[in-house]
Structure 1
Amino acid sequence: MKLKLKQYKVQLKDWPQAGHHIMAQFDDEKIIVYQSYRKDIGEFAVKNQYFGGEFSLERMTWIKPNFLWMMYRNGWGTKEGQECVLSIHLKMSSFKRYLENAVYSSFNEELGVSREEWQNQVKESSVRLQWDPDHDPFGNKLERRAIQIGLRNDFIKSFAKEDIVLIENISDFVWEQHQFVLNKDLDKLIIPEEKPLLFDNGNLNKKLRLNETYN
């Protein structure tokens, strides 16, 4: 497993407690995002190092760079059809391209456009962006917001193959760490090392409403 790991409680001390933050494991070349699938889709992706087989290119797929938010969504890999948990090492250039082309999933007056303009943007865009409450290991809602990105059309096609550096099945790791959560023993919980991501593009940070300071 190529993920860098660190104790949850150690990381917690350095994490922002509120605001809009892309919590992720990344470097200049790549970023880790997570998805969960049923076993046949996940095993095909790991074996072939791209998404194909029963994976649908016709419906929107959502990627999540925040590990604990993925665990909230898939119930630590226990929800039906989400048993195979994948860490996807994605080209950073592709991730930025998604966000540069993204349109918010829901209308907000702070976006600076009318509802009609926003509706037209949604129709034309193939990338969705939304912020949701982040969650702790037990699934409790936090003040901090977590990002997820939806891809379709040409973007899902490039994501499925060209944009991927590595696909890993981390289902066993997720199961092991879930045992500590079930036993309420967070002192032993280890998760991927994450920190807030900011881009060197101020306009992109502003579009994403990213908080540049915290704590």
Structure 2
Amino acid sequence: MEQPKYQVRARHTATTLTVYQAYPPGIGRPAARDNRFPAAWKRDRMTWIKPSFLWMMYRCGWGTKEGQETVLAVEISRDGFAWALRNACLSHYEPGLHADRAAWRQQLRHSPARVQWDPERDPQLRPLPHRSLQLGLSGEAAARYADEWLVAVTDVTPLAREIHALVRSGDAAAADRLLPVEPPYPAGDGLLDHLMP
């Protein structure tokens, strides 16, 4: 069945949603061990979270890129995710959504979160026709992410390596069986209306 071009797909429960990030071991390992980000995690920088496991694999090269060797599954509250979306701005100007470029720039300046939609990836990391949500958090949003929304942090680097090895060996069926299941996320109440190009 054809996927909608813009749709949030994510592992989720009734109260949580899982996003992915990749960090150097000095940040990723303590975060997974202590279930919170260590002091070395920079609160003053924008942090990008990704509900798509395969888009994260594309971004971090299956955990092989320098500074992205530790892949984390970060479970956050759905309430927090909804807050971020409600307070987000698209990362690019979109005619029809924004009155003009100046209005978009002003909204971007004052928004603690930003959204971009990038092509989803298949297990070979080739682009697909539908898009995957990336959510950038800064300022108040980054602080809430680390201090309020975070429920659990799991190091999924071994899983990434196992799936990557299966993909490289040509065992697509076995790789698919290990991939996290990411059904459509029920973003109701017009939560994405201001973020849909």
Q: 1:109 to 1:133 in 2, by over 3 A?
A: same
Q: Partners of 2:143 and 2:104 in 1: how far apart? A: 25
Alignment RMSD (CA, Å)? 1.4
- Correspondent of 2:121 among 131, 135, 140: 135
Deviations 1:123-166 (A, max 9, x none): 11111111011111111111010100000111111111221110
SS of 1:20's equivalent in the other structure is coil
Q: Partners of 1:150 and 1:64 in 2: how far apart? A: 9
Query: Once the 2 structures are TM-superposed, how far is the Cα of residue 18 of structure 1 from its aligned partner?
Result: 4.7
1:208 aligns with 2:195: yes
Q: Tell me, yes or no, if the aligned pair for 1:88 and 1:167 is still in contact at 8 Å.
A: yes
- Correspondent of 2:10 among 5, 16, 24: 24
Instruction: Identify unmatched segments of 5+ residues in structure 1.
Output: 1-13, 211-215
Deviations 1:145-192 (A, max 9, x none): 010000011111111122111000111111111101111211111111
Q: Partners of 1:90 and 1:197 in 2: how far apart? A: 14
Deviations 1:77-112 (A, max 9, x none): 111111100000100000000000000100010314
- Correspondent of 2:24 among 24, 35, 38: 38
Segments ≥4 residues shifted beyond 4 Å: none
1:199 aligns with 2:152: no
Q: Which amino acid aligns with 2:112?
A: S
Equivalent residue runs for 1:70-109 within 5 Å: 70-109=56-95
Equivalent residue runs for 1:56-205 within 5 Å: 56-189=42-175, 190-201=178-189, 203-205=190-192
SS of 2:19's equivalent in the other structure is strand
Q: Which amino acid aligns with 1:158?
A: R
Instruction: Identify unmatched segments of 5+ residues in structure 2.
Output: none
Q: How many residue pairs align between the two structures?
A: 195
Return the structure number with greater strand share.
1
Q: Partners of 2:195 and 2:90 in 1: how far apart? A: 9
Q: Partners of 1:149 and 1:163 in 2: how far apart? A: 14
**Which TM-score applies when normalising by structure 1?**
0.87
**Which TM-score applies when normalising by structure 2?**
0.94
